[in-house]
Chains A and B, each alone.
Chain A
């Protein structure tokens, strides 16, 4: 009896029952979602089995996302496989309810891991699919360590931010002659494109920046080992930012401090519904229209990052 059972277990554990031929599944590398006349226009880039074409692009227009994906499934005559999805490209003209539909759709997909990078593109165009998805992700990865404009934001972190803070910051890109990172776009309760200074500010506030190369009045300032911490004391939010600066003159630190201070200060003043307001609400438990805050910036001057640190 035991032997029969073991044979039975071994037979079932092979996974032959759920066997799917690789030629019968369409591995999706990127998805684009645009709105046209209150209809969704969905683009799906599928890795091709043909060696000449690396990937194929399929599109569909319909009133809801499920219909669009079903339509593409039918066109392909294969099942879409989202586990290897690397990039989700969203159009600039999506409204709050569209984001709800998109998040619902991906949360309901069993093959989707939701850990793929998400971007918003100005003037959505098919041209974006000419770029390799890995190159776009590398570009974002490089951006946070150089210009500090934007980092890779995954779909699950967007959903988390949206649920916890009612807003999320998604990388905003533009195609002119080449693909360019513009910063972030705020979505959900607020729908706004942030300037480059505002994008750097939100990265400082969210502790996304480690190394950054700031360009202030055509001068380049390299900051390293940046760290930010937010706490609340006496009904006041304290934003503490510290960085190490490698430069020739100690007075440069004053210029950097002023730049960061003004950027963050202007960001908070110009964005009434910002991330910090929700953080403050989390700390104090009461929602206030005017945010009391204090920004402390500590730039440590160092001759060499490998050597001693001088104030």
Chain B
């Protein structure tokens, strides 16, 4: 077996973390002021409709790579758009993580310094290639699972099922568009991997469906778990409900104030997404311009400038970008090879 080939299991774990990219920061706000039934229905709707996009994603493997490597002005323009979209995804991922770190761990630190430091780590990982990002994601997934289990078990006694009441059916509150778009869009960056580099693609397909189902089950349990602990009104009031749940962890009255360590899950999600988007940008720029060294330098400078200049980012811009990103990927894949 070739060492550089991707195994189905490692790619599906990678996909799971990619789908989780924006759940702790942007996606969780979508559930504000929703009741239990609306939360369940929104996630189920997003899950079912997401299957269509997942099908498109699986069918796009190889077609995307063949079409993107073609010469021509149209492909060049498409590539530029894809690069802009992935820069915006990278910016959001970096910006949101640095904001959380500033708010929770380092209140006196300049947010831009946190962003740049984080970007340096992403850059080191990105230039190592997708294979390295995949291995890193798989290793970090173990830590991710441990943190999730600690959070779950040591918060079991804080659950108050009454917070999930009243059970009222209200169709007006259902919103699944953002959930669907923000979970599926980072996955499309994996299309840059050639199909032949994946060991047993059929098996990957199967594992991806399992990973996708597990992700939505996890999302549903996670949101209901947080709501049952905090109550829907407190959940809607606080900026980071997930961290408020972590604050409540008290292991045998001995281990307290663990939120600053357990926040690592948000770090993992954003690190994986940012590194992949950076790698995606480099790969696309390499294939579009021959003098790629300068191109990469210019892109790095643009990203750095944007991170220094941007103070506020509207969540809607990410949703629009993610939608455009999915449409462009689908369009490229549907083109005749």
Interface on A for B, CB 8 Å cutoff? Answer: 2, 5-6, 8-9, 12-13, 15, 17-18, 20, 107, 110-111, 113-115, 156, 159-160, 163-164, 230, 279, 281-285
Contact = CB atoms under 8 A, between A and B. Distances in A.
B316 interface: no
Contact of A12 (B103, B116, B231, B237): B116
Nearest to B259: A113
Contact of A110 (B107, B117, B231, B237): B107
Contacts of B237: 107, 159, 163
14 contacts: A6-B120, A9-B117, A12-B120, A15-B106, A17-B109, A17-B113, A110-B103, A110-B107, A114-B247, A156-B234, A160-B230, A163-B231, A163-B233, A164-B234
A8 B116 CA distance: 10
B33 to A, nearest CB: 12
Nearest to A207: B160
Given A9-B120, A15-B106, A285-B166, A164 B127 contact: no
A115 B162 CA distance: 21
Contacts of A163: 231, 233-234, 237
B121 interface: yes
A5 B120 contact: yes
A230 B233 CA distance: 21
A5 B123 contact: yes
Interface string B236-252: 01100000100110000
- Give the secondary structure class of B's interface: helix
A2 B132 CA distance: 15
A9 B257 contact: no
Interface string B143-180: 00000000000000000001101111000000000000
A281 to B, nearest CB: 7
A160 B231 contact: yes
B108 interface: yes
B117 A12 contact: yes
Contact of A15 (B109, B163, B230, B234): B109
A2 B165 CA distance: 53
A162 to B, nearest CB: 9
Interface string B109-148: 1100100110011011001000000000000000000000
B162 to A, nearest CB: 6
Contacts of A279: 162
B165 A283 contact: yes
A112 to B, nearest CB: 11
Q: Which 4 A-B pairs have the closest CB atoms?
A: A163-B233, A282-B165, A18-B108, A18-B109
- Give the secondary structure class of A's interface: helix
Contacts of B247: 113-115, 156
Given A18-B108, A156-B247, 15 more contacts: A5-B124, A8-B117, A9-B117, A12-B120, A18-B107, A20-B108, A113-B247, A114-B247, A156-B244, A163-B233, A164-B232, A230-B162, A279-B162, A281-B166, A283-B162
A14 to B, nearest CB: 11
Nearest to A279: B162
Given A113-B247, A163-B233, A12 B113 contact: yes
Contacts of B163: 164
Contacts of B110: 17
Interface string B72-105: 0000000000000000000000000000000100
Contacts of B116: 12
Contacts of A284: 166
Contacts of B124: 2, 5-6, 9
Interface in B213-243: 230-234, 237-238
A284 B162 CA distance: 12
A5 B124 CA distance: 8
Contacts of B113: 12, 17
B117 A164 contact: no
Contact of B117 (A13, A281, A282): A13
A145 to B, nearest CB: 14
Contacts of B103: 110
Nearest to B164: A282
B110 to A, nearest CB: 7
B120 A164 contact: no
Nearest to A159: B234
B293 to A, nearest CB: 11
Interface in B159-208: 162-163, 165-168
A157 to B, nearest CB: 9
B106 A282 contact: no
A8 B120 contact: yes
A115 B158 CA distance: 14
Contacts of B108: 18, 20
B233 A164 contact: yes
A239 to B, nearest CB: 13
Given A2-B127, A18-B106, A113-B257, A9 B162 contact: no
B136 to A, nearest CB: 15
B162 A282 contact: yes
Interface centre among B113, B123, B165 (most CB of A within 10 A): B165
Nearest to B116: A12
Nearest to A165: B231
B165 A111 contact: no
Given A9-B117, A18-B109, A285-B168, A160 B234 contact: yes
Nearest to B166: A285
Contacts of B238: 107
A6 B106 CA distance: 21
